[in-house]
Structure 1
């Protein structure tokens, strides 16, 4: 078995594609409209779906927003430098919700940003710069 993708429901597909591609540097891998079902699926990621886990953005045409709920956590991305990644997000108009720094009760450097729908993305700094992972 292999993990293929994680799906997020988004209120404005173009805005979300722009965030994941422009702010986080992913590529739009494919986008398909399903007029009979009144929805569009867009897949974004850092590599081809045949070898990488990707993110599926689902846009139901008649829904502008969703409640995030209390069970959802976050998407985690490994970054070379969490401090620089946060600065890059801010420079591109993104929102940093937790500045880079060591995690509570540990040494790993992390940060959190939010996408346009409020989904959290955690940046985890690579082990070489963060020290031993906890």
Structure 2
């Protein structure tokens, strides 16, 4: 049997990303790994509900923003408080695209990764 475990985003400023994910999506650190020489740090975030984790990878020597290409990929979250979460993201100024016809929108994290917000189905 195979199961999803985690997905990775490489980040330039780990503290800024951790702050964003805590405020925007209520994600919390569930485990960390740091290289003995300090050259990288892996921080795994969880939602407290599922076993799926988002791995943030920080590389000490990385100074240039990551090239995300055309950003034709995304991570998606479902919520039972769509209006409340949308209002939070609007206040944060992180909504980058809305599709009212489909009833979804996207936010962008500090490194430009897109995250889709989907309402829970009734």
How does the TM-score come out when normalised to structure 1?
A: 0.80
Match of 1:55 in 2: 54
Q: CA deviation at 1:72?
A: 4.4
Q: Structure 1 residues 94, 32: CA separation in 2 closer, same or farther (over 3 Å shift)? A: farther
Identify which of 93, 108, 113 aligns with 1:119.
113
Aligned length: 120
Per-residue CA deviations over 1:74-113 (Å, capped at 9, x if unaligned) read: 000001243321211232x24101236232xxxxx21110
The runs of at least 4 consecutive aligned structure 1 residues that moved more than 3 Å come to none
Gaps of 5+ in 1: 104-108, 129-134
User: Structure 2: where are the runs of 5+ without partners?
Assistant: none
Distance, in Å, in 1 between the alignment partners of 2:52 and 2:14 is 20
RMSD: 1.9
* Contact 1:29 1:43 (C-alpha < 8 Å) held by counterparts: yes
- Partner in structure 2 of residue 4 of structure 1: 5
C-alpha displacement of 1:54: 0.6
